[in-house]
Structure 1
């Protein structure tokens, strides 16, 4: 594949979703100044923040060496809605590659070049992350359609190869080609938070290879309480996140149904495992049980979604003439 004449970063658009975390957003935008090559543009989706996020974006736009698009939504559409809006805008701006991320990370110097060597081969790429203490962040999973959940993969997945093939996505660092986005469609804003990237990665895997590569490109800055379970860490969460982790099971079930991969008994077991993990998170990490009520409310809502006969998956976008993929 040929490299863009304007440089390795010229086809790359960063898509950042933020909500009331201007301090983290400021650090992320500042980290862009150290990138060589730099991205073509940055799109910041402000989910109707009430802090000084708008001022932070305006300040970055005046100082950064690349254009910054300030996309402020009228309401908080959640991470899912924010990424849907940001991805749509990136396509409208002519992006060839989209690198999507939350606001509580920073980009490591050399990250764009590190990812560029994979863009001639793959269309959906995840680089490695460090946690806030500088340790490798655990992200090695595969989605199991029978259960409708992703499960951790044990061991060193990079022992024999710098590429780990997976079938699950993460919007905290997914690099995806615009051509693939058009074939899948926009991220599903109905998820609000939780599970939108998981199912998007699985949808991508039905069309092409989804990979996790042995290159550290991001560092998470926001500290989280966590416990070590041996094969992975379990972080703290929120009651809102717990509600959506259960409620969005309904949307995931509908996607599996649409692809002929829904198994009623297996999915019920996956739902039970999801609830059990959240209860463990409450007891072992957050040392409380009061948040369990949100799981029940989420499960009831998931049943309503699952039995909604009008539900339809997000459609592919209008077909565009296929162009040769530029490398990042």
Structure 2
């Protein structure tokens, strides 16, 4: 079967990085583009228009008229792309990454309808930045971080052949249509953070595979910014979604209830350090992350 690939690219107020991203995608060959703009206030539209004029490929631009977050943008874009029945795969990308000229060429040999393929990520200085985990541990009781054995810093950095991972970022994964048909589109309720982990776990639990392809290379244009100190709006989503993953995917009652202990520990730290703002963030994150409808407190949307 011919592989018809659509790019689903989400962007928000990073037109300079978006320009670099699109130039790298232009090198990948014949693709169809679905560019989802979360209502940017910079010159994103001009960048897209210039790119559209420079390629023969179809370019579909959508302004969502609101900041839907990465999760909402990918949900919106995947839904639009999947309306076109001829696409066999969707290639998801944030605006702050670029792809090596032969990235897609090195993914193609491993394409099928049961495997998500993730390129290997590097930092701008050339060091390995692939933070995907080879193990997601939602069984063990006495751990705080369920993401185990990150690729970077391990022997997997030097791998030549594809190897299994259990977590993708929405930065470059090539995803078969069959997976969307089985597990659905990304859950827009996450807004940012852990939407990719939620999708990964659903895919694995439905019998699909995830592999990292080392010869397919891409670059992160800015460093990851994990923030585990509850100080700002991002912290709300870090903890809210962290709690949700445990509640939804914990393999035993202890793991599913672990958010109670984690919330108590972080709240205690906030009290000891006088971080009253952080205490309120954790309270809101716990309330919404553990809620039946996975509520979102709109005051934290920038």
Normalising by structure 2, we get a TM-score of 0.81
**For 1:96 and 1:311, how far apart are their aligned partners in 2?**
31
* Aligned: 1:123 with 2:123: no
> Larger deviation: 299-308 or 198-207?
299-308
Name the SS of the counterpart of 2:41 in structure 1: coil
**For 1:239 and 1:249, how far apart are their aligned partners in 2?**
16
**For 1:244 and 1:200, how far apart are their aligned partners in 2?**
17
CA contact (8 A) 1:148 1:267 kept: no
Name the SS of the counterpart of 2:156 in structure 1: coil
CA contact (8 A) 2:241 2:289 kept: no
CA contact (8 A) 1:249 1:302 kept: no
Name the SS of the counterpart of 1:157 in structure 2: helix
Runs of 4+ in 1 over 4 A off after TM superposition: 158-161, 234-238, 272-276, 292-295
**For 1:265 and 1:105, how far apart are their aligned partners in 2?**
34
Structure 1 pair 138–311 and aligned structure 2 pair: CA distance change class (3 A): closer
Match of 1:155 in 2: 154
Aligned-residue offset at 1:250: 3.7
- Structure number with higher relative contact order (C-alpha < 8 Å, ≥ 6 residues apart): 1
Aligned-residue offset at 1:193: 0.6
Normalized per residue, the structure richer in helix is 2
Q: Which 5+ residue runs of structure 2 have no aligned equivalent? A: 296-302
CA contact (8 A) 2:168 2:200 kept: yes
Q: Which 5+ residue runs of structure 1 have no aligned equivalent? A: 5-9, 225-233, 280-288, 313-328
Aligned-residue offset at 1:88: 0.7
| RMSD after superposition | 3.1
Match of 2:185 in 1: 186
CA contact (8 A) 2:263 2:286 kept: no
Aligned-residue offset at 1:148: 7.0
**For 2:15 and 2:241, how far apart are their aligned partners in 1?**
28
